[in-house]
Chains A and B, each alone.
Chain A
C-alpha cells in the first residue's frame, strides 16, 4: 500500500505548490499596487488562477476533504476578483469619466432634467409672484439664517451694498469651501431622497426655486434687478444647473422604483442607480466650480458686465459640454 492511496490526497500533493504560489501573489497584489507584481508574476497569475479554478472544480467532484474545499473556494474567489476586478488606472478612469461617461449619463437623463428644470422654474415664478404681491411671503419662503439681513425691511442702500460689498478680502477661500461643502451635501441628499418616490427631491428643488424667486422679487421691487442678476448668476448658472441635475438623478431612481417597466424592479432600480450615480458624481464637481465662483469670483469681480459675461459663458460651456452632438469615434 503506497503512502498516496487516496486519489484526493495525490490530487492535493500534486497541485499544492501552485495554490500556495497563487496565494502569495494575491497577498502581494492585493496590497494595493499592481505595480508590486513583476511582469513574470503578472503573466503567471491568470494561469495560476485558471489552474485553481479547475482544481476547485475537480475537488468538489472527487474530494471529501472539507478543509481543502473551503480553502480552494476562498482562494479562487479572491483570485477571481483580482483577475476580473477593475484594473483601469485612476487617470484613465477620470479622463474617460469627463470625456464620455458623465456627459452621456446627463444626456440619458434629459427627460428627468426637463422635469426638474420645470419644477425649479415654476417654483421661482411662484416665489416671485407671491413676494411681489405681498412682501410678507418673503419671511415664509426664506429660511431665517439665509437672509443675512436681506429682507423687505432692509434699506435699498443696504441691499445694494450686499451686491458689491467685497466682504473683507479675507476669508474668501474658507467661505467658498463652506459654500461648496454645504451645497454638495444638500445635492447629495436631494439625490438620495429620490428613492422615496421622487417627492422629497421635488420639494428640495422647489424650495430652491422659491427662494430664488423671492430674492429676485425683493431686489426688483427696489429697482436693483439687473445688478442682482449679475451677483446671482455668476455662480448661479453652474449651481442651479447642478441642482437641476441632482434632482434629475434623484427622479430617475424614484421613477424606476415606482415604474420599473418591463424589467424586474431590482434590475430596473440598479440600472437607474448607476446612470444617476454617474451624473451625480459630476454634480459634485460642478458644485466645486460654483463654490469657487461664488466664494472668490463674486467677491473679487464687482463689475456687472464682467459678472454677466461669466454667467453667459458658463451657461454656453455647460450646455455645449452636455448636449452638443459629438463626433462618433470609430473604434
Chain B
C-alpha cells in the first residue's frame, strides 16, 4: 500500500479536513446540522480545539438589556433620592458638591455602566450574566478596552438618539417639526433594529468594535446514566442485534427521557423499544407492572447502556450512526 493511500483512508482522516470547509462542519463531525447550527460559530483555541460557541439570540440580548436598564434606572432613582435628601440636610454650602456628585454619577451611569462591567473578567454586565452571556472578540483574540469602549459608545445612536427623536416627535407643536422628528425617528430606529437583520445578531456597536455576544453555558456535570446501566446489567441482557436497533439521535432522546423521569413518557418509550427490538421479558419481570414501578426505568437505563456501548464501539471504528435509518 502506498503511504498516500493510507493517509486518506477513513481510519486515518487528516485532521485538517475536519476543520476546513463550509460552515456546516461546525457541527459534530459527520453529524447533520442541528436546528441550533445557524447560531454556532467556531473559535479555534491555540490548542487547536473548536469551542463551537453559540451566539446569543435577539430575545436573550433584549432581555439582558432590559435587565440592565432596570438596574440603571433603579441606581439613578436611588442616586437622585439620596441627592435630594442630603441636599436638604446640608443646606446651601454643600449643595454644590451634591450637584456635582449627581451630575458625575448620572454621566458615569449612562456611559460607564456597560463599559466598566464589560471590562471585568467575565466581560458581561449583570443583565448579561443573568442570562449567561458574554462579549467576545469576533476574531477570537483578546477583548480589548478600545473595543468595549467603542461598542458601548455606539449605544448613543442606537438608543439615545431614537429616544431623543421620540421625545421630540411627541412634544413637537409645529406639524412640520413633528413630521421631521418622526422621519428622524424612523431613520434612527434602523440602528436600533439592526441586530434583527444580520445573521450574526450584531448590534451596531458589535459591528464597529468587532465583537459579538455568545452564550457561556454553566452546565452542571450530571450523573452518568451508564453508571446506572452497569448496575442493572444482570437484570437485562441484550443481543448484539437488539443493541444495534437505533442511532445517536435516538440515544440522545432516550437520555433526555431518562433524565426527565416522567413516568408516562418512560412507560411509553419502554413499550415502543420492547416492541421494536422484540425483547423477551426475563422471568420475574413484567412490563410496567412492577409494584415499585421502576421496571420501565431500569429497562430503559439498561438499554441505554447497551445502545451507547454499541454505538461508541462503532464510533471507535470510525462510524457514527446518525439515527435508526442510517443503515451503513
Contacts and interface: CB of A to CB of B under 8 A. Distances in A.
Contact of A273 (B46, B52, B121, B208): B208
B1 interface: no
B194 to A, nearest CB: 10
Interface string B71-112: 000000000000000000000000011011001101100110
B142 A274 contact: no
Interface residues of A, number: 82
A62 B157 contact: no
Nearest to B45: A80
B220 interface: yes
A64 B207 contact: no
Given A7-B312, A8-B308, A80-B51, A281 B248 contact: no
Contact of B100 (A76, A174, A272): A174
Interface in B29-77: 29, 43, 45-47, 49, 51-53
Interface of B: 28-29, 43, 45-47, 49, 51-53, 96-97, 99-100, 103-104, 106-107, 110-111, 119-123, 134, 136, 138-139, 142-147, 149-151, 153-157, 160-161, 191, 204, 207-210, 216-222, 224-227, 229-231, 233, 248, 251-252, 255, 259, 305, 308-309, 311-312, 315-316
B149 A181 contact: no
Interface in A47-86: 50, 53-54, 56-57, 60-68, 70-71, 73-78, 80-82, 84-86
A30 B132 CA distance: 13
Contacts of A299: none
Nearest to B120: A32
Contacts of A195: 154, 157, 191, 204, 208
A171 B99 CA distance: 9
19 contacts: A3-B231, A9-B227, A32-B120, A62-B316, A65-B224, A66-B255, A71-B220, A73-B52, A74-B217, A77-B217, A78-B218, A81-B216, A180-B107, A266-B207, A273-B150, A273-B207, A273-B208, A274-B150, A274-B209
A193 B161 CA distance: 10
A30 B221 contact: no
Contact of A1 (B122, B157, B209, B233): B233
Contacts of B316: 7, 62
Given A8-B312, A9-B227, A77 B53 contact: yes
Interface of A: 1, 3-9, 12, 16, 19-20, 23, 29-30, 32, 34, 50, 53-54, 56-57, 60-68, 70-71, 73-78, 80-82, 84-86, 93, 97, 101, 105, 170-171, 173-174, 177-178, 180-181, 184-185, 188-189, 191-193, 195-196, 253, 266-267, 269-278, 280-281, 284
A101 B312 CA distance: 53
Given A62-B312, A270-B138, A68 B224 contact: yes
B191 to A, nearest CB: 8
A134 B139 CA distance: 56
A278 B148 CA distance: 10
Contacts of A81: 123, 134, 136, 216
A23 B144 CA distance: 25
Contacts of B157: 189, 192-193, 195-196
A5 B230 contact: yes
Contact of A6 (B110, B161, B231, B305): B305
A6 B157 CA distance: 57
Contact of B230 (A3, A19, A50, A253): A3
A189 B156 contact: yes
Given A3-B230, A30-B121, A192 B143 contact: no
B210 A12 contact: no
Given A19-B221, A54-B47, A192-B154, 17 more contacts: A3-B230, A6-B308, A8-B312, A9-B227, A56-B49, A68-B222, A73-B219, A84-B45, A185-B156, A267-B210, A270-B138, A273-B209, A274-B144, A274-B150, A277-B209, A278-B146, A278-B149
A59 to B, nearest CB: 11
A67 B144 CA distance: 33
A164 to B, nearest CB: 22
Contacts of A178: 103
A158 to B, nearest CB: 26
A76 B43 CA distance: 12
B308 A273 contact: no
A80 B315 CA distance: 28
B309 A86 contact: no
A174 B97 CA distance: 7
Nearest to A65: B224
A74 B216 contact: yes
Contacts of B52: 73
